């Protein structure tokens, strides 16, 4: 397929803030956007949209017939919905990336099959298998549902063996994996875009901090030595190539330090644009959202160099109520997502603070 010309329509499955920012980026390139979602989210405010259930594959197929290419803004799009769209139009990234990202067990095994380091893990289906996993992996450990967990949801920490039953109850006995504790200095992510022809480009690797399982800040430049940063990008490229990926992929990693046998341990990947890349909106000439649109539309990937140092801070819940002060702050770039209810734990926006790059 040749590159889509301006005026073509990008179809996006999902109506959250990532879909909103993708829609804005697509509009800058002259594309139209048509959202399909089962909920009315902030992306509906800036694009054409269809509201419908994801299990209505006939309606999804009809929607796909009105667009030129399909992408998605969250990794839990039902596979049947993606398949219905793919029967009509190209879906980028493809279903293989969705399938792997939706199940932590499949994801861990896939990453491991590429020769990349992951935390020790074991399958947990019931108390007996959790007991066996703890005997093998030890404590501390973390119990994670195989599906649908994000921002710390679907997880329970186990500091002592005696906490096992409570942890299993906390995740309602859902199919899970147990992950062993990893000693690390910090958390980072690789934001890599892969084009239709297999060429790739990555942004600088940010340092990420989390509070209560939710990303709090992403900072560039990050702390990785140059050689380690190149290894991180190479690992992300290996994942993207194995998935025949098209678009932006975010690969989250633990950095264990320069003296570790495995300096980088892959935690998980997201087959979409990512919260830890929001700083690219203001610190780069071309952001992660535009490069994702470029890739899925068959365009060349743009340069990913940044022109400023940056700290992106998420605005969670009531944090967004500080918008008057943030809007008045020099050097602060404020992004609000148009959500009405500032519930605890809900991402309402972000602010990126820029500084001149250190030479």
Q: Mind listing the pLDDT tens digit for each residue in 196-240?
A: 999 999 999 999 999 988 999 999 999 999 999 999 999 999 999
Rounded-to-integer distance, Cα 215 and Cα 270, Å? 14
Q: How does residue 173 score in pLDDT terms, banded at 50, 70 and 90?
A: confident
pLDDT at residue number 149: 67
pLDDT at residue number 224: 97
pLDDT at residue number 233: 98
pLDDT at residue number 105: 95
Rounded-to-integer distance, Cα 204 and Cα 191, Å? 8
Going by C-alpha positions, the residue among 258, 260, 291, 296 that lies closest to residue 274 is 291
pLDDT at residue number 171: 87
pLDDT at residue number 353: 98
Average pLDDT of span 92-121: 95
* Contact present, 180 and 137 (Cβ < 8 Å): yes
- For the chain, give the percent of residues with pLDDT over 90: 84
pLDDT at residue number 61: 98
CB count, 10 Å around CB of 64?
24
**Domains of the chain as residue ranges with CATH:** 9-91 (3.40.50.20), 120-180 (3.30.1490.20), 186-356 (3.30.470.20)
The alpha carbon of 211 is separated from its chain's Cα centroid by a whole number of angstroms, namely 17
pLDDT at residue number 151: 59
Q: How does residue 150 score in pLDDT terms, banded at 50, 70 and 90?
A: low
Tell me which H or E stretch contains 9: strand 9-13
Tell me which H or E stretch contains 348: strand 347-356
Rounded-to-integer distance, Cα 349 and Cα 319, Å? 9
Average pLDDT of span 161-180: 89
* Contact present, 334 and 323 (Cβ < 8 Å): yes
Rounded-to-integer distance, Cα 333 and Cα 184, Å? 31
Rounded-to-integer distance, Cα 192 and Cα 216, Å? 21
pLDDT reading at 38 higher than 90 = yes
pLDDT at residue number 169: 87
pLDDT at residue number 1: 58
pLDDT at residue number 163: 85
Average pLDDT of span 309-320: 97
Number of H helices, E strands in the chain: 11, 17
pLDDT reading at 26 higher than 80 = yes
pLDDT reading at 148 higher than 80 = no
DSSP symbol at 5 = P
- Which tens digit of pLDDT belongs to each residue from 275-292? 999 999 999 999 999 999
Average pLDDT, the chain: 95
Rounded-to-integer distance, Cα 129 and Cα 175, Å? 11
* Contact present, 10 and 69 (Cβ < 8 Å): yes
**Alpha-helical segments (H) within 163-285:** 164-170, 226-242, 280-283
- Among 70-84, 134-148, 196-210, 325-339, the range scoring the smallest mean pLDDT is 134-148
Q: Helix or strand or coil: residue 118? A: coil
pLDDT at residue number 156: 87
Average pLDDT of span 99-112: 95
- Among 25-34, 221-230, 294-303, 336-345, the range scoring the smallest mean pLDDT is 336-345
Residue with tokens 């519930």, as numbered in its chain: 343
- CB neighbour list of residue 302: distance below 8 Å, 6 or more residues apart: 201, 285, 286, 290, 291, 294
The pair of structure tokens assigned to 230 is 């190149």
């Amino acid at each position: 397929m040749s590159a889509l010309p301006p005026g073509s329509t990008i179809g996006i499955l999902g109506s959250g803030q990532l879909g909103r920012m993708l829609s804005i980026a697509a509009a800058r390139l002259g594309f139209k956007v048509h959202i399909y979602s089962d909920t009315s989210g902030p992306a509906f405010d800036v694009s054409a949209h269809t509201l419908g259930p994801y299990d209505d594959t006939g309606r999804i197929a009809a929607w796909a017939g009105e667009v030129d290419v399909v992408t998605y803004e969250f990794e839990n799009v039902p596979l049947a919905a993606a398949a219905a769209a793919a029967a009509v139009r190209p879906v980028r990234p493809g279903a293989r990336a969705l399938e792997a990202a939706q199940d932590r067990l499949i994801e861990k095994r896939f990453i491991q099959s590429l020769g990349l380091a992951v935390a020790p893990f074991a399958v947990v289906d019931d108390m007996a298998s959790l007991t066996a996993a703890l005997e093998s992996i030890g404590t501390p450990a973390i119990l994670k549902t195989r599906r649908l967990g994000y921002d710390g949801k679907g997880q329970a920490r186990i500091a002592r063996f005696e906490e096992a039953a409570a942890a299993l109850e906390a995740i309602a006995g859902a199919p899970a994996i147990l992950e062993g504790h990893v000693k690390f200095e910090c958390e980072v992510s690789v934001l890599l875009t892969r084009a239709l022809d297999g060429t790739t480009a990555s942004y600088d690797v940010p340092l990420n901090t989390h509070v209560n399982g939710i990303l709090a800040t992403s900072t560039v430049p990050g702390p990785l030595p140059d050689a380690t940063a190149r290894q991180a990008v190479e690992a992300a490229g290996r994942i993207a190539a194995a998935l025949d990926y098209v678009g932006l992929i975010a690969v989250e990693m633990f950095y264990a330090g320069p003296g570790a046998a495995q300096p980088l341990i892959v935690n998980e990947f997201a087959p979409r644009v990512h919260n830890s890349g929001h700083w690219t909106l203001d610190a780069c000439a071309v952001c992660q959202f535009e490069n994702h649109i470029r890739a899925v539309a068959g365009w060349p990937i743009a340069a990913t160099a940044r022109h400023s140092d940056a700290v992106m801070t998420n605005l969670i819940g009531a944090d967004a109520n500080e918008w008057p002060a943030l809007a008045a702050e020099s050097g602060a770039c404020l992004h609000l997502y148009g959500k009405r209810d500032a519930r605890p734990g809900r991402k309402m926006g972000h602010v990126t603070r820029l500084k001149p790059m250190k030479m």
